[in-house]
Amino acid sequence: LRSCSPGRARRTNASRRACLVARFGDIYAQERLDAETLLRTYISDMEMVQRIIYIAAVESFHAAKMAYRQFKIRVRETLSLGHSGPESLEDTVLDYIVRHEDLYDVQASVNEVIRSMNINPKISFPPEIDFIVISTLIRELCRVAFSMQTLIPPLDIAFGTDGELFSETKYHRSFDSDFTAALVAYHVWPALMENDVVIVKGEAVTKR
């Protein structure tokens, strides 16, 4: 195992958090739009395109969180054999993960996301095309979601369902929304949460 400095994760928590929140915003502004443009060459229905991207984001966070839990268990098992302090085993584990995030097998998570999307009943794709065409977006989301699990507290995305009451604190309405409608027709982008508090609003479409 490579050596790591004690308490690194806690010392760098605020700066890492700021970078990751900014990166999440960048993905919304750049990779999301690139994926949208790419999907529009295959799918004319804009709602389906936006649903695909939203589900890709949700599945990416799910896959990355699962991978993080498994990665942390393996690191803890290895480090516990020779751990003597002075910092706690949990802090040592977190420091190691922060130092060596490059060991995260992001491609395995990307594959898992695409598998999940292929069986999702809410989205469909022309049979000659594969969700792999938006793998750049999925990869970047998995990376940022994995890194967000190393924060204290970790960041996560809000759970959203079609037909839920529109929340001004959680979402911006898309420009093509019915601004008098009270219910979410579908989601465009998830809100980012910290301890159940919204720190970055998502985007949703409201219709009657």
| 149 and 118 fall within a common domain | yes
In a domain, 2, yes or no: no
In a domain, 192, yes or no: yes
Q: Choose one of 135, 154, 173: the last residue of a domain.
A: 154
Q: What is the pTM of this model?
A: 0.90
| 71 and 18 fall within a common domain | yes
pLDDT digits (tens, 9 = 90+) for 96-117: 878 888 889 999 999 999 999 9
Q: Choose one of 154, 171, 197: the last residue of a domain.
A: 154
Domain count, the chain: 2
| 145 and 189 fall within a common domain | no
| 67 and 17 fall within a common domain | yes
In a domain, 3, yes or no: no
Question: Would you write out the chain's pLDDT as a tens digit for each of its 208 residues?
Answer: 444 454 777 888 899 999 999 999 999 999 999 999 999 999 999 999 999 999 999 999 999 999 999 999 888 888 777 766 667 767 777 888 788 888 899 999 999 999 999 999 989 887 777 899 999 999 999 999 999 999 999 999 999 999 999 999 999 999 998 989 999 999 999 999 999 999 999 999 999 8
Q: Are strands 192-194 and 155-157 parallel, antiparallel or unpaired?
A: antiparallel
| 76 and 175 fall within a common domain | no
| 79 and 105 fall within a common domain | yes
| 99 and 176 fall within a common domain | no
Which class for 92: exposed (0-12), middle (13-18), buried (19 or more C-beta within 10 A)?
buried
Q: CA–CA separation, 87 vs 141, rounded Å?
A: 31
* Coil, strand or helix at 186: strand
Could you tell me the two tokens for 185? Answer: 């027709």
Note down the domain range covering 85.
8-154
Which class for 120: exposed (0-12), middle (13-18), buried (19 or more C-beta within 10 A)?
middle
